[in-house]
């Protein structure tokens, strides 16, 4: 099983598991003609783990979570793409002096510890070529690398096996989010995507349709309210979120000199008109807009189903293979 990249198929399913909830969606079709075959939004009991947290010990808590999910969903018609939490999957963009992906994978093993905080023996990783912007309108080929601890991934696979759940691919939630919000026919060279998430948020810099920078943001939305220290001041917390996004963006731009943002696209359960306005007032980007991933891909999804929220990651997972 490859960590990130596999051949496409006619039907694809994405499963997102988070503290206290799960989302499952299955699609078929092709770009512009996708059809939702099934969508299930469910809750997980507190007995799964502390506060219903499924990834504290993947071999135990995730096993319990999967039992509850399978009981509610029933039989899976196709192997699923499962997301890795942003807190447990790391993304890096690296230069490598080779053009073949397999050669790059072998070569990167010797450089792995320059970019990630644990040894290559403790890790699983995959990579894919991307184009990277340079000053003066130039660009060069680099590789986007995704990695996680092997013990963490093994725990997930063991739990899936115990529950007879076939995993097609494990994918960082950051990549799923990027796929969900990126149009098939991309019209922007330099786009900034902001996912205002339920528990963690994500900042993505996309160059010609491919993410080149992914940063997980601790400020997030819980039950529709941006979390602050006591959960009481929504306006203050949203201002904190906007400042954190701006700070992270400025740092990224200082490192990627050839990237000049054309537009910021905001999406996710925490996206409101108020937040859009705050970001417009905070970041130095001319256009800041809201977007819905289902609309981006022309997918009909009932407002009743959509109202449960947090569909962005499982949608991106399901779009992976079709």
Q: What does the DSSP assignment read for 115-139? A: HSSS-GGGEEEEEEEEEEEEGGGEE
pLDDT for position 227: 45
pLDDT for position 2: 47
pLDDT in tens, 191-206: 999 999 988 999 999 9
Distance CA 233, CA 238 (A): 9
Give the Cβ contact number of residue 52 at 10 Å: 19
pLDDT for position 185: 86
Name residue, tokens 């809750």.
Answer: 43
Pair of tokens at residue 285: 């980007």
Give the Cβ contact number of residue 10 at 10 Å: 11
Distance CA 105, CA 124 (A): 11
Pairing of strands 138-149, 123-134: antiparallel
pLDDT for position 198: 87
pLDDT for position 304: 67
Distance CA 177, CA 23 (A): 14
Name the residue ranges covered by the structural domains of the chain. Answer: 11-88+150-321, 90-147
Distance CA 103, CA 97 (A): 10
pTM of the model: 0.92
pLDDT for position 208: 95
Q: Which fold has domain 90-147?
A: Dna Ligase; domain 1 (3.30.1490)
Which residue numbers in the chain have pLDDT < 50? 1-2, 5, 223-233
Q: To which CATH superfamily is domain 11-88+150-321 assigned?
A: ATPase, nucleotide binding domain (3.30.420.40)
Pairing of strands 21-28, 80-84: unpaired
Pairing of strands 35-43, 21-28: antiparallel
């Amino acid at each position: 099983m490859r960590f990130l990249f596999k051949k496409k198929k006619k039907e694809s399913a994405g499963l997102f598991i988070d503290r206290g909830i799960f989302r499952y969606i299955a699609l078929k079709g092709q770009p512009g003609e996708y059809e939702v075959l099934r969508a299930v939004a469910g809750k997980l009991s507190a007995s799964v783990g502390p506060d219903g947290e499924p990834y504290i010990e993947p071999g135990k808590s995730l096993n319990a979570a999967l039992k509850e999910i399978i009981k509610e969903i029933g039989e899976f018609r196709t192997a699923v793409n499962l997301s890795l939490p942003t807190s447990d999957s790391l993304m890096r963009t690296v230069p490598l002096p080779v053009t073949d992906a397999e050669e790059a994978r072998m070569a990167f093993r010797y450089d792995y510890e320059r970019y990630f905080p644990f040894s290559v023996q403790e890790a699983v990783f995959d990579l894919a070529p991307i184009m990277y912007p340079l000053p003066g309108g130039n660009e060069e080929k680099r590789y986007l690398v995704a990695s996680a601890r092997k013990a963490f991934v093994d725990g997930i696979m063991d739990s899936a096996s115990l529950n007879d759940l076939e995993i097609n691919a494990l994918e960082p939630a950051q990549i799923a989010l990027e796929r969900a919000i990126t149009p098939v026919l991309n019209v922007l060279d330099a786009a900034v995507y902001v996912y205002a998430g339920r528990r963690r948020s994500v900042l993505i810099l996309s160059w010609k349709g491919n993410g080149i920078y992914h940063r997980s943001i601790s400020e997030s939305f819980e039950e529709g309210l941006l979390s602050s220290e006591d959960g009481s001041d929504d306006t203050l917390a949203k201002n904190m979120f906007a400042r954190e996004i701006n700070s992270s963006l400025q740092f990224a731009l200082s490192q990627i000199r050839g990237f000049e943002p054309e537009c910021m696209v905001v999406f996710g359960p925490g996206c409101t008109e108020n937040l859009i306005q705050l970001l417009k007032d905070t970041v130095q980007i001319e256009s800041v807009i809201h977007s819905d991933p289902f609309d981006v891909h022309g997918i009909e999804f009932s407002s009743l189903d959509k109202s449960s929220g947090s569909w962005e990651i499982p949608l991106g997972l399901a779009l992976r293979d079709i």
